[in-house]
Amino acid sequence: MNTTRKLRLGPLPKVESVKLAFACPVSLKADLDRYAALHAQVYGEAVDATTLIPHMLEAFMQGDRGFQRNSASKHALQNAGGVPISGCRTP
């Protein structure tokens, strides 16, 4: 594999974090470990899967158009003084 090519998940920013635990399949953990090794090789900074997961989830959520559309609608309602109703779709 060409390691000069950048990964979708770029260099990691320094952020404040909260501890969260979850279970995943063994195969996913192996994939995360391989991704972490490749990320370290490409960006020159050792990182483990636990460090990568929040950034991967954030990138996934930012790329989800339905989630972004829903979030924008709720923010617009809150800024206008309205209260969004959970489970209701807005046009």
> Could you tell me the mean pLDDT of each successive run of 10 residues in the chain, 91 residues long?
70 83 95 95 93 92 90 72 51 45
pTM for the complete prediction?
Answer: 0.62
Span between the terminal Cα atoms of the chain, in Å = 45
Contact between residue 42 and residue 6 where contact means Cβ atoms under 8 Å apart:
yes
Q: Which pLDDT value is given to residue 26?
A: 97
In the block, which residue shows the tokens 């979030």?
Answer: 71
What is the SS3 assignment for 68? helix
